[in-house]
Each structure stands twice: as C-alpha cells, then as structure tokens.
A and B are shown apart, each in its own frame.
Chain A
C-alpha cells in the first residue's frame, strides 16, 4: 500500500485497501473456498477456450450417430441429431457464465447507483424508491422473472435482463443501508466541516466503503443466477434451439431420460458443478470480507 500515490478511482482505492496477503491467508485456511475457487478457474478456462478443448463442432449434425452412448469418440454421448454432447456442454458453459456475469454487473451497478442515490438524497425520494423496491421484493421472484421473460419474448438475453431487473432491489437495499451508515460516520462529518461537496464525499468516502458488501453479494449471486438462467432455459423461456445451453439440453434430454440417460445427466451435472463452485467461493469470500454475517 504505497501512500504516495492514491488513485482517484474509487474501485482502485477500494481494491488498494484490501489486504491481499491476509485474504490469501484466510482463503488458504478454508479448503472449501479454495476448492470452489479452483473449480471456478477451471470452468472459466474450459469455457473461454472451448474451441481448443472441444472435439467436435457443437452444431455439427450427424444423423448416423444419433443418441450414441458415451464412448472415446463422444465423451458424453450424442443427442437426437448426433451432435457431440461434450462439445456442446463446453460451448453451453459460455452462455451460462456470460449470463451470470451480465446479471451481476448490470443489477449490481444499477442497484448500487439507485441505492446510493436514495441514501444520499433521503427524504421523500428515498421513501418512494424504497417502497417501489419493497413491492418488487414482495412478489415471488421466480414468478416475476418468468412473467418478465415471457413478456420480453423467450431468448437468453431477455431471460438475463429479466433476472437482472428482479435482482436490482437486493443491491439497492444493501448499498442504501451502507450509505446511510457511512454518511453518519465521523470522517464524513469531518469532510463536511471542510465544505467537501456531496460528490467528493460520494467518491472518496461512500463508494470505497460500500463496494465490499456489494461485491460479496455479487459473488454470492453468480451461482444462483447461473442456476436460474438454466432453469428458465429448461422451461423454454431462455436459450432457444439450436443454441447449446445447459438448461435447454436437460429439457430436450428429458424425452430420452429412461433410455439415453447421458443426454440430461451431463449438462445438468455441469450446472451443478459450476453453481456449486461459484457458491462455495461466494460463501467463503462472504465469511472473509463480511465477518459480521458469518454464521458462528
């Protein structure tokens, strides 16, 4: 932490405050977090370099090899038009991971913006905003997401937008609460004494301090978003044929479950592994960064 150059970028400032050595020490102590993080890295690697690891073109149809059992040619077997499931799962991971990050980034940034705004302005604006958020939170989220996705029209990007819209209030709540807390702190009062502008306080005091809980929430959300997106694809509101997507593959495989078990089993297992890894990582990071919430 060189204190000679202090960045004006709040994200950089927040990151520079993190004691990476301590973080690494904590992560090392928790084998599950380490394992989750390792699997996340492996999944990201496999998915980003899918063309390298894939053995077949994910959309190449080969009607002679329909519904073939797992073998050396097709590690996870083939589907009803002879496409290689292993390659499709690798490419399908791109959709799932992309949706996960998209939702977290969009919902996180919009939600944080609204939350900080409401917390700083206060008064009637704050009340109206928070009541609106309460309304959204009081509708069962799955139903709301399904309705929104159906209203926008079934496609993966629309499903992602629907999930992001419904997740916004969560971030609004977190960032507003933190903003209210930090606004009352003595260093903010001190800054105000020196006639610091609202913008200055926002940039130098509030943003760096609310980023950590928002990041924790974002990491925790990644796993559940991936799961939710594949569930939407499963019921036909997400990715459409012939896009390779895990949930959609499980859905088609359902018709063959009793005889060609591999069709549904492998894509679903991929969802399970990926979501578990992200959740383990998120859980671990929460325990480290946000010890107050840690279940003792």
Chain B
C-alpha cells in the first residue's frame, strides 16, 4: 500500500515536472528572437503573406492561448513541424535519433570498457601511481573541451595519418544497408555487408573516442569510490585497505582467476573472517554480489546521465547545425 503510494506520488510529481518543462520550453521558444512566420515565408514574401501564415499558425493569438494549443498538440504526440526540414518533429526525431544513440552507446562502451578496469585498479592500488594517473585522467576528461579534442583527433588521424575519415557515418560510395534498427553497424551486419560494417566502424571511432574520453574518468572515479566502499564494508578490520597486490592473488588463483577480488577474499583477507566463524563461501558470494551491485549502481548513474545528456545535446546540435 505504501509502496503504491510512493509510486503514485512520484508519478504525480513527474506530471508536475513535465508540465514545468513545457512551460520553460514554450517560454524560451517565444523569447528567442526571430519571427517564425517570416522564416517560413522567406525573405521576399510580402507582409500580407507573412500575416496570413501567422494567422494560419495561430501566432496572432495571445500567448496563453498559444500555450494551450501547444500543450494540446504535445499531449496527442504532435510536436509540430520543423521549419528547417519541413517534416513533423517526431519524424525528425525518428530519423536522427538512432545515429545519436549509436554514437552515445559506442562512446559509453568505450568509457565503461576502459573505465571499470581503471577504476578497480585505482581502488586496489589506492594512492599509488596508477591511482594518481586515473585521477589525472578523470580530471583531464571533465576539463577537456570536447569540441577541441575532436578537432585534434581529426587533425591527427585524418590530416596527418590519413587512417580515419573526418566526418559522416559511412563511405558515400558504399550502399547504405537496409534500415532495420537505424544503427548502421548493426544494420550492415544484419545485411551481411562486412565492408559497410568496417566503414561505419571507422566513421564512428573518432567521435566515439572523443565523447567517451570525457566520461571515461568519471566512470573510473565512480567505480573506484564504490569498490573502495564495498571493500571497507566487507573488511572493516582492514580499515579500507585492500588485500595484497593483485598479482599475488592472480598468481595463486586457478578457479577464480577471472575474478581477482573473489580470490583475494578467499586467500588472504578472508582468513580473519574465517576465524570469526564466517563461512568462506558465503563471504565470497557476498563480496562478489555486492561488488557487482556496487559497480552497477555506481556506473549506472553517470553513464545514464551521460547518455541522456549526450543524446539530447547531440540532438540539439543536429537541429542547430542542420
């Protein structure tokens, strides 16, 4: 009952927030200089034509009336028609969004694939060179102007080395794979076109690296924090200190080689716990499960946030840049 109440309250709140968002969007779109009727009509249109368009779109009505009309449309899934592309905005979203999502996911893959090992390493060797290195990477990442990093990698890999293309999604001479998901890399694989896949991969490498680098450090720092806290909770007697260096554990382990913490838990740090009568297996399981949980909850936030931000920002850039 209380659980349902919480959900109900959350949903009510969400509706309130969404309402606020529409107010902000509407206000700002009216504040931005420029007359939409004039933009649709073009520079050479007579004032009468502009006036006609204005009336047809309801732009001559007072703002509150316009807002209600806009809200009616939004509720019915009608976001209006883009002045630039002359297509419904929803249609534009459908066309552009897969590309944005593909880029965001690839960048995320890069950031997590590198960020998690780096974060775990910096938690294990806390305050050692690797930890400082990761910290520098993290701070550099959030301090790097992505627009500038993009230019530099284009200069290096396109201008100087000529290895990778500077823009676009796929080699224009290649045939676009049939659209299934909208993700070029997946669609080309589905079509069995390895050449197209290679080209799409080459085209996404530079932007994905640029975006991913900015988030890499954030992921690594979050993982470091959560791994450290998990260790502190599991081994309070060690006061947050980690077991012996990782190599030690790796060399001795056979069955658990894939999971160094697991093995560390059993081999060294687990011993005092065993003496305390805690079942070793249970400890190991708890450790494993909790680490995964911690890592998951830790990574979930920034990457989801990044995805959200990257996605919307990319979308906006698409719209602005045409």
Confirm or deny: A126 has a beta carbon within 8 angstroms of a beta carbon on chain B: no
Chain B: residues with Cβ within 8 Å of the partner, total of 45
Nearest residue (CB) in A for B316 is A143
Please, which residues of chain B bring their CB within 8 A of the CB of A143? 312-313, 316
The answer to the question of A140 belonging to the interface, with a C-beta cut-off of 8 Å to chain B, is yes
Specify which chain A residues have a CB less than 8 angstroms from the CB of B309 in the assembled complex: 140, 142
A279 neighbours in B (Cβ, 8 Å)? 139, 142-143
With an 8 A cutoff between CB atoms, is A163 at the interface?
A: no
With A and B bound together, what is the CA distance between A186 and B11 in angstroms? 37
Cα–Cα, bound, A275→B225 (Å): 23
> Measured between C-beta atoms, what is the minimum distance from B113 to chain A in Å?
21
Q: For chain B, residues 3 to 33, give those with C-beta under 8 angstroms from any C-beta of chain A.
A: 13, 16-17, 20-21, 24-25, 28-29, 31-33
The CA of A230 and the CA of B143, in the complex, are separated in Å by 12
A73 to B278, CA, bound (A): 73
- Interface check A250, CB cutoff 8 A: yes
Verify A139–B21 contact, CB threshold 8 A: yes
The interface stretch among A113-121, A144-152, A195-203 is A144-152
Q: How far does the alpha carbon of A254 sit from the alpha carbon of B166 in the complex, in Å?
A: 13
Q: A251 to B148, alpha carbons, bound, how many Å?
A: 9
Smallest CB separation, A272 vs chain B (Å): 6
Cβ of B152 and Cβ of A227 under 8 Å apart?
Answer: no
A148 B17 Cβ-Cβ under 8 A: no
CB-based nearest A residue for B148: A268
The verdict on A295 contacting chain B, using a C-beta distance below 8 Å, is: yes
Question: Which residues of chain A come closer than 8 Å to B159, judged between CB atoms?
Answer: 257-258, 261
Of A9-17, A18-26, A78-86, A128-136, which binds chain B?
A128-136
| A153 interface contact, C-beta 8 A | yes
Residue positions of B touching A, CB distance < 8 A: 13, 16-17, 20-21, 24-25, 28-29, 31-33, 132, 135-136, 139-140, 142-149, 151-152, 154-155, 158-159, 221-222, 224-225, 228-229, 232, 240, 308-309, 312-313, 316, 320
A-B residue pairs in contact (CB < 8 Å), sample of 19? A135-B20, A138-B21, A140-B313, A143-B312, A143-B313, A144-B24, A150-B32, A231-B147, A250-B147, A251-B147, A254-B151, A257-B154, A257-B159, A268-B148, A272-B143, A276-B139, A295-B221, A295-B222, A296-B225
| 3 closest A-B pairs by CB | A268-B148, A135-B20, A295-B225
List residues of chain A with CB under 8 Å of any chain B CB.
31-32, 131-132, 134-136, 138-140, 142-144, 146-148, 150-153, 223-224, 227, 230-231, 234-235, 247, 250-251, 253-254, 257-258, 261, 264-265, 267-269, 271-272, 275-276, 278-280, 283, 295-296
Q: What 16 new A-B contacts, CB under 8 Å, besides A271-B145, A272-B144? A: A32-B136, A138-B20, A144-B28, A147-B29, A151-B33, A230-B145, A231-B147, A250-B147, A250-B151, A251-B147, A268-B148, A272-B140, A272-B145, A276-B139, A278-B143, A296-B229
